[in-house]
């Protein structure tokens, strides 16, 4: 979950990355740090725990920074986040950073659920149609959902574009029920 604090940290990091002309590098690095939280069960609880000593948390962060070979900018940012007792927010900060960076670049991320696996050409066609409809640059993430029966559903920010057979059947059912109530 992205909190207001995560957005604030992400905004500051983006400003620093833009000033240093290092947005792509910083984006990759904060994604790598966030991935550690996903790949390491309990890491978020460790950093959120008031029982863990600050020195111990600092040692773990030093190992993370060294292992990931983070740039000076990201290393200093991570240090400030740690010093402020907010290192457990790194996954949310990374998510907020990428959201703000995408918005700055005019990129919209779209999650597409398809009833069957889509090949590269089909993904390109969907991407092109969504880009035309939205007037923005689109990055598509595709997931298979056989329960859709056929077609696809696109999730664009808070909007859902349902072109699935399941969605059409649901719409037909609603129309029939409303017609029967007259």
pLDDT for residue 2: 76
Q: Which domains does the chain have, with CATH numbers?
A: 4-103 (1.10.520.20), 107-180 (3.40.30)
pLDDT for residue 181: 62
Instruction: Show the low-confidence residues of the chain (pLDDT under 70).
Output: 1, 180-182
pLDDT for residue 69: 95
pLDDT for residue 180: 66
| Secondary structure, 3-state, the chain | CCCHHHHHHHHHHHHHHHHCCCHHHHHHHHHHHHHHHHHCCCHHHHHHCCCCCHHHHHHHHHHHHHHHCCCHHHHHHHHHHHHCCCHHHHHHHHHHHHHHHHHHHCEEEEEEEECCCCCHHHHHHHHHHHHHHHCCEEEEEEEECHHHCCCEEEEECCEEEECCHHHHHHHHHHHHHHHHCC
pLDDT for residue 147: 85
Single pTM value for the model: 0.72
């Amino acid at each position: 979950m992205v909190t207001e604090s995560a957005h604030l940290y992400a905004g500051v990091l983006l400003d620093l990355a833009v000033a240093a002309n290092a947005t792509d590098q910083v984006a990759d690095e904060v994604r790598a740090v966030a991935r550690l939280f996903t790949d390491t069960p309990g890491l978020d609880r460790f950093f959120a725990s008031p029982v863990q000593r600050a020195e111990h948390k600092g040692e773990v962060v030093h190992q993370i920074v060294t292992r990931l070979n983070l740039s000076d900018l990201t290393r200093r940012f991570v240090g400030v986040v740690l010093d402020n007792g907010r290192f457990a927010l790194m996954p949310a900060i990374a998510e907020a950073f990428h959201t703000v960076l995408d918005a700055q670049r005019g990129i919209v991320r779209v999650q597409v659920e398809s009833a069957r696996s889509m090949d590269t050409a089909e993904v390109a066609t969907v991407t092109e149609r969504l880009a035309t409809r939205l007037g923005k640059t689109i990055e598509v993430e595709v997931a298979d959902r056989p329960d859709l029966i056929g077609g696809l559903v696109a999730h664009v920010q808070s909007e859902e574009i349902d072109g699935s057979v399941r969605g059409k059947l649901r719409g037909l059912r609603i129309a029939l029920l409303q017609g029967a109530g007259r």
